[in-house]
Amino acid sequence: MALLDFVVNRMGKRRKTQAISGIYKITCTATGDCYVGKAVNINIRWAKHRRDLRKGSHHNKQLQWLWNQYNESDFRFEILEKCPPPVLAKREAAWIKVLGTTNRLRP
């Protein structure tokens, strides 16, 4: 049985979501720049990205700069591949290479 986690949606209501392990991409649609990451629970990770970006404290300064320059609606979050936790690092590295990203963000 898959793990269930609670995620807070934009309205602050808690809802159950199935944990999805895999590789994801955050794209600034205004510039085409993208960030590739991995997570055991992608929905929880995306919530943390959004929270940090909104607060102006994201660990990736390039992504934070883009977020500050454009609107939140200019960013697309998408799952590239679902995969089990033991292979996350290997698959993330493969996607970074395929997409040609540097330091997880392609200029």
Q: Does residue 8 register a pLDDT over 50?
A: no
Confidence at 101, pLDDT banded by 50, 70, 90: confident
Q: What is residue 17's predicted lDDT score, i.e. its pLDDT?
A: 66
Q: Does residue 4 register a pLDDT over 50?
A: no
- Residue 12 backbone class (left: φ over 0; alpha: ψ -120 to 50; beta: rest): left
Q: What is residue 15's predicted lDDT score, i.e. its pLDDT?
A: 60
Structure token digits, residue 8: 């807070």
Confidence at 104, pLDDT banded by 50, 70, 90: low
Confidence at 105, pLDDT banded by 50, 70, 90: low
- The whole-angstrom separation of Cα 29 and Cα 62 is 15
